[in-house]
Amino acid sequence: MSSICSQGHANPPGSRFCCYCGERLSDPHELLNTALGNRYRLIRELGKGGFGRTYLAEDLHRFNEYCVLKEYAPQVEGQQALQKAQELFEREAGVLYKLQHPQIPQFRELFRASQGDRDRLFFVQDYIDGQTYRQLLQARQLQGLLFNEFEVTQLLAQLLPVLDYIHHAGVIHRDISPDNIMLRFTDQKPVLIDFGGVKELAAKVAAAQHPYAMPDLTRIGKLGYAPAEQMEEGKVYAHSDLYALAATAVVLLCGREPQEWLLTGRPIWQDWVNISPSFQAILTKMMAPHPLDRYQSATAVMQALGVPKHEAASSPSPVIQTLPPPSALTDPPTQATVPVSPVLPIGTENHQETASLAPPSSASPARSSTPQRGWGCLQWAIALALLIPVSAWGGAWLMRTFFLPQPNVEDQQELDSSSKLPQDEQQRKAAIQSRREALGIDYDFLVGLTNQRFYETYPDQKGRTLTDQSEDAEWRDRWDAIASEGLDTLETNLSADARARLGNYTPADQESWKTRVNQLYVGSRSLNDLTDARFFYLFPDQSGNAFIDQPIGQIWRGLALDQVVALEAGETLEEIRLEPGTFRAERSHTLEPGGGRVYIAYLSEGQILRINVQDAPDTALLSIYLPRPTLQTPALLEDSTQGTWSGRLPQTGYYELVITTSDSQAVTYQLDLAIDNVSREQIQPQTTDEAKPNKK
């Protein structure tokens, strides 16, 4: 049972009624499987903290996408106080909304919902499908293993740019620990979660409600991970986060908590880890007792590690053995097994205890301008012996060696005399490389995409290492043919701007596109319909597949960007406005193969709408979206081949009519829209937020 009633009275755990006012306390499980505000369906409780409970939920307005709802249970009295608390949160949380980084869960909104006779306040943010580094460490300890220097150095190299980003935005995390860093399943990237700034806001709200009470900011942070000045005085700086990050690194290396070395008065942890002297010195300085003796910025630590700032942001992620995800969620896809080359961070030694090599990540890693000419015998033996699971982005090492020449080669027209490949094959690969560069397509992306399509076409080749011998010539020819076909598709179906970003699109891009199309009174469902039509026309074999986190998913996002531009230019968007005294509008249009068009119309609740799409084949799909979808009525019509709909409108606002086709032939149609009960006064669209689509 909840220990806090709606009046803010704290009660002992297990209480059924408030000890002060007699109010019946709510059971947190009563919220499960309910849809708060017809928007968020709570699935299960994830945890409970000092400020309330945290739930896993489905966003019913965004294709049932997972998100996290953190309930704020303030010590406030009455609904008026809760309203003031919400206003203070919204005023103070502006910086949290502005944080846009792929390794930070997006803070979506502050959501207020009524449940029974009680109003509740929730923070809504992105859900990260992965495991915390605490869980990963515990799993290793059960096997008698720990993290090694290589893995921890890579972790720091990937988190320091995130800290640099938030610190420049004026945000201090305050609560970094293995519990608040997650390894995301999809891209093997570390993600910072559970920002202490939210807890600070909660403390400010509590202080505003009780002005004579001293706000307890010193409790934000974990003992041993947060430096002394933070725990004792509540003072936080950029180097406070660096201290906590170093403490986290040491815990991963030795498996022992900071409290075990705090009482010694000296860095006894140095006796428990097997790392290079240079890395030990860096961690020691990060955790210096006196603040002025520490590194003062994340950039300074990156420089000490020898990792340039631009490289750290895109450095490959080490493959880390994870536990199975929660059973209620979808398991990650089965991954192919191929050899990849070990990569060591600059300025460190290899003290690996487990095989944790680095496949290419979705971001393009920095590359040397000097091509690699070959490996020694020992390196070949290591690479062939260490077989680790990687995704379709992986396997690029062997393809780089045998299929595409490295980029940035001086005078690519000269053939490599040391190569065993026939000269005509070398010329063919050089031509592919030149064309890739001319189109502005990322090297790693093309390799990853070709690998994916190659393995999908020839699944029996998964896990097999191709060689430069004559018996593999046919397979190399097929790989090159798939690469060339991919370049054809990208050249004819994506703009230069969309091609240039392939390999670097993130979910944050989709959020920004949603904001852009919302300004046009178009929801992201309509944008997705247009993108899907084009994508599945080009790749019909991907229908039903979970492709968005695969290399080919980058093409979907590139197509989405082009669709946003087309909508903004009015090429695929048209507003239907009925003039006074008219009750019908007709539009005709011809869609190119895989094309689509969006119509918007401002209509009123209670009007009777009749839609008829004539002359269109069964491959044409019609969707009609509400201004504000609800749980009971998410859409009036969705992906229907019938082409007709009539009924009374339940809301006032902009309705969206989307017509798409994935047919290989052009489709010509005529749209007939009719309205009954139309006022003879011309309807003027509202400019308030109520008129804007509340789409996913």
- What does the block give as tokens for 37? 């505000």
Q: Is 587 helix (H, G, I), strand (E, B) or coil?
A: strand
Give helix 551-568 / helix 507-518 axis angle, nearest 10°. 20
| Contact (Cβ atoms closer than 8 angstroms) between residue 576 and residue 417 | no
**In which order are the strands placed within the sheet that holds 584-591?**
584-591, 667-676, 608-614, 644-648
Residue 460 CA from chain centroid, whole number: 32
What length does the chain have? 696
Residue 108 CA from chain centroid, whole number: 13
Nearest in space to 574 (alpha carbons), one of 695, 692, 691, 659: 659
Q: Indicate the helix (H) or strand (E) that contains 408.
A: none
Alpha helices (runs of H) in 294-362, residue ranges in sequence order = 298-305, 309-312
Strands 573-575 and 596-603: parallel
Q: What contacts 259, CB < 8 A, 6 or more positions away?
A: 223, 224
Phi first, then psi, for residue 17 (nearest 5°) are: -130, 150
Q: Indicate the helix (H) or strand (E) that contains 170.
A: none
| Contact (Cβ atoms closer than 8 angstroms) between residue 220 and residue 173 | no
Neighbouring CB atoms inside 10 A of 310's CB total: 10
Number of alpha carbons in the 13 Å side-chain half-sphere of residue 457: 13
| Contact (Cβ atoms closer than 8 angstroms) between residue 249 and residue 150 | no
User: What distance in Å separates the CA atoms of residue 680 and residue 362, rounded to the nearest whole number?
Assistant: 55
Q: What is the CA radius of gyration of the chain?
A: 28
Reply yes or no on whether 411 is catalytic. Answer: no
User: What distance in Å separates the CA atoms of residue 571 and residue 568, rounded to the nearest whole number?
Assistant: 8
Measured CA distances, 392 to 82, 335, 389, 441 (Å) = 49, 7, 10, 18
For residue 602, give the amino acid letter: Y
Q: What contacts 232, CB < 8 A, 6 or more positions away?
A: 218
Give helix 524-538 / helix 507-518 axis angle, nearest 10°. 120
- Residue that is written with structure tokens 């201004």 in the block: 627
Q: What contacts 505, CB < 8 A, 6 or more positions away?
A: 554, 557, 558, 561
The one catalytic residue among 126, 175, 187, 241: 175
- Residue that is written with structure tokens 């093997």 in the block: 188
User: What distance in Å separates the CA atoms of residue 460 and residue 455, rounded to the nearest whole number?
Assistant: 8
Residue numbers annotated as active site: 175
